[in-house]
Amino acid sequence: MTQIDEKLEPILVEVLHRNAGEPEFHQAVREVFESLGRVVAKHPTYIEHALIERICEPERQIIFRVPWVDDQGNVQINRGFRVQFNSALGPYKGGIRFHPSVNLGIIKFLGFEQIFKNALTGLPIGGGKGGSDFNPHGRSDGEVMRFCQSFMTELHRHLGEYIDVPAGDIGVGKREIGYMFGQYKRLTNRYESGVLTGKDLAYGGSRARREATGYGATYFVERMLGTKNESFDGKRVVVSGSGNVAIYTIEKVIAFGGKVVACSDSSGYVVDENGIDLGLLKEIKEVRRERISEYARRKGSGVEHVAGGSIWDVPCDVAMPSATQNELTGRDARVLVKNGVIAVGEGANMPCTPEAVSTFQKAGVLFAPGKAANAGGVATSALEMQQNASRDSWSFARTEDRLAQIMNNIHDACAETAEEYGAPGNYVLGANIAGFVRVADAMDALGVI
């Protein structure tokens, strides 16, 4: 593990102490602190004005009961969260996650990452995150709708297009956003399009929002490969996950000439040496909401389905972890390096463990951290807000062009910042410093609030 600067060490100890029992939040905070030593040496005001302590403390944390009635008539209780972390740059912005693993520490880690990610986009959005331990798997549409309505019945009083603008994340897609928007509209009697993003095109969504996270991550990695005169063209690629991020990463990798040979879900992974059949994958995951084993069953011989195990055992040139946090371990990283991986791009939030990240960096593998590489989703959410505010709707090409431009800018900001701080090629350091400086300077200008 990298040394923490001696001026930062006591601040980190205090943050870990007052947020006991939140390992993912600790991990995210420590990673940023590891990058900040060089910044505070150059700019002591960040310490003098307590900007680092302030950034680690959420502005507001909301925890609430979500009661709902299942199809059998039983009352179910879940817990809802919204952490409004930082609004120095704009209204709180960040997704909502529905997954049984959700707890306050997970939402805080995601919210913390979101602050810097959103700052990196260069767009006027603060950082926040929310969610619930509700498990949508195996629930009927009616159950999901009643859950979403109950969730929004409590959350709506904390939202607004100038206050806090949620979107989707794991377990929350356009269906859930639709149910939540409907309930918000009914409770407030306001057609406030800009209060949620990731909306369906039928009522104020943005073209290319669905594709944005995966496309954006692929644009970022393509540009990163370009710094070494490489590209996706002809590369063997493994993309973990098979949700929204993974599917549109696969689509863009194929467009750039790469071949994706494996993808996964929580039940296992599939290897298709002919290249993943995107049409079939979309049908299974987006339409039928089935398990990934269905892909192997439908394809028949030649496609391997491995239940459990690690998808990172599949040799590849480029790895795009796009499932969930800490899915790629130190052991996985060593296997990937041994198999000759040249670049890794995080499509998910914090999918690589700290040991995995340092393994890649020591081996000279190009490594794109999630808060930079997966910022295309939230950036396009900000473009959705822009379209809603101007009561306009852009073409797919215009929106995708803006996305590509934003991703290239983020890439270059990370690369230049790493260079400026004496660590060329270290995108982790570049992303953390560039994001931090933008937020800290805005906070400093606003006084002690």
List residues with catalytic annotation. 129
378 near ligand GLU, rule: CB under 6 A: yes
Rounded (10°) angle between helices 396-420 and 376-389: 130
239 near ligand GLU, rule: CB under 6 A: no
Cβ-based neighbour number of residue 449 at 10 Å: 8
What is the CA angle 58-135-157, rounded to 5?
45
The least distance separating ligand GLU from the CB of residue 378, rounded to whole angstroms, comes to 4
What single string gives the DSSP state of each residue in 186-224? Answer: HHHT---GGG--S--GGGTPPTTHHHHHHHHHHHHHHHH
Q: How far apart are CA 238 and CA 257, in angstroms?
A: 14
Element (H or E) spanning 232, and its range? none
In the shown chain, the binding pattern of residues 345 to 374 toward ligand GLU, with x for contact by CB under 6 A and - for none, equals: ----x-------------------------
240 near ligand GLU, rule: CB under 6 A: no
Q: How far apart are CA 3 and CA 11, in angstroms?
A: 14
In the shown chain, the binding pattern of residues 148 to 187 toward ligand GLU, with x for contact by CB under 6 A and - for none, equals: -------------------x-x------------------
Tell the residue number behind the tokens 């800490």, with chain if given.
326
435 near ligand GLU, rule: CB under 6 A: no
84 near ligand GLU, rule: CB under 6 A: no
406 near ligand GLU, rule: CB under 6 A: no
Q: Which stretch binds ligand GLU (CB under 6 A): 88-96, 174-182, 217-225, 250-258?
A: 88-96
Q: Which stretch binds ligand GLU (CB under 6 A): 15-23, 34-42, 90-98, 214-222?
A: 90-98
90 near ligand GLU, rule: CB under 6 A: no
For CA atoms 13, 17, 18, 20, give the dihedral sign. positive
194 near ligand GLU, rule: CB under 6 A: no
193 near ligand GLU, rule: CB under 6 A: no
Reduced to 3 states, what is the DSSP secondary structure of residue 167?
strand
Q: How far apart are CA 234 and CA 281, in angstroms?
A: 21
95 near ligand GLU, rule: CB under 6 A: yes
Q: How far apart are CA 359 and CA 328, in angstroms?
A: 11
The nearer residue to ligand GLU, 78 or 381, going by C-beta atoms, is 381
432 near ligand GLU, rule: CB under 6 A: no
Residues at the site binding ligand GLU, with contacts judged by CB under 6 A: 93-95, 167, 169, 197, 349, 377-378, 381
